[in-house]
A = this chain, B = another copy of it.
Amino acid sequence: MTSSRPLLPDRALVIERLGALAPLDEEGRQALLAAAHRTRRIAAHREIIGEGSPAGEPGIVMSGWAARVRIFADGRRQILGLLLPGDVFGICRQTKPLAVTGIVALTDVALGDAPAPCGGCERLAAAYARSGALDEFFMYRQIARLGRLSARERMADLLLELRDRLAMVGLATAETFPLVMTQEMLADMLGLTSVHVNRTLQALRRDGLLELHGGTARLRNVDALARIADYRPPPTYEPHA
């Protein structure tokens, strides 16, 4: 799928990704490149933005995985959505004083500032808009997953989504990708307990659908997984403009 490019988090890749969403002008590319060199590092498990705190500047995940979360009063946690390398957050087309959700780092994360689409780089705005549309798509998918799929189906659906999203940044091949979430994080993502996630993963392995070693997932039968979850790939935006 994505040739023989090395599967390493590479900040240039996030720029490529935004460029794939909407072709960038030179100013936009330069602004992103600059942002990629001034990053803020966040340790795993640390909060990036607290729910209800002032929303701060828009950012781009340059490497690592983060997640939007909602924590309930009794400690239950739900991951609302993932922020993977190349994902943009905090873009708001309005005076929005407060962050609607908290964001936490799932792994060590490097954050860059998302450059504001200025005069010379209006293509950047188009890239952000498409990134936002993809966010919306994944949010709807998360709702359907939690509402109507069984544990096995949810897991299959998420694995395929991760592959597709990571492939956009060159971090996945057709069958393999780094799966850096703990089973407890997967549980918080899928609305399950970590114990049940463990058993669900075992069942998928037993059935020859999945392999896991050393933080890498290998999908042994993508078609079967897609059938299990009635999976529909994310929309692609042809660079026809």
Contact = CB atoms under 8 A, between A and B. Distances in A.
Interface of A: 68, 70, 72-74, 76-81, 92-96, 98, 100-101, 126, 129-130, 132-133, 136-137, 139-140, 142-144, 146-148, 188, 190-191, 230, 235, 237, 241
Instruction: List 4 tightest A-B contacts by C-beta distance, closest first.
Output: A147-B191, A146-B146, A94-B129, A78-B147
A167 B191 CA distance: 30
Give the number of copies in the complex.
2
Given A136-B100, A140-B101, A144-B78, A95 B230 contact: no
A90 to B, nearest CB: 12
Given A70-B144, A139-B143, A133 B92 contact: yes
A96 B133 contact: yes
A48 to B, nearest CB: 16
B78 A143 contact: yes
A136 B98 CA distance: 13
B230 A72 contact: yes
A79 B143 CA distance: 8
Contacts of A140: 68, 70, 80, 100-101, 139
Contacts of A190: 147
Given A133-B100, A139-B139, A148 B78 contact: yes
B139 A95 contact: no
B143 A80 contact: yes
Contact of A72 (B81, B98, B142, B148): B148
A236 B149 CA distance: 34
A70 B157 CA distance: 14
A51 B24 CA distance: 30
Nearest to A241: B95
A2 to B, nearest CB: 24
B68 A129 contact: no
A220 to B, nearest CB: 22
A68 B74 CA distance: 31
A129 B78 contact: no
Nearest to A100: B137
A146 B47 CA distance: 23
A142 B137 CA distance: 14
A143 B144 contact: no
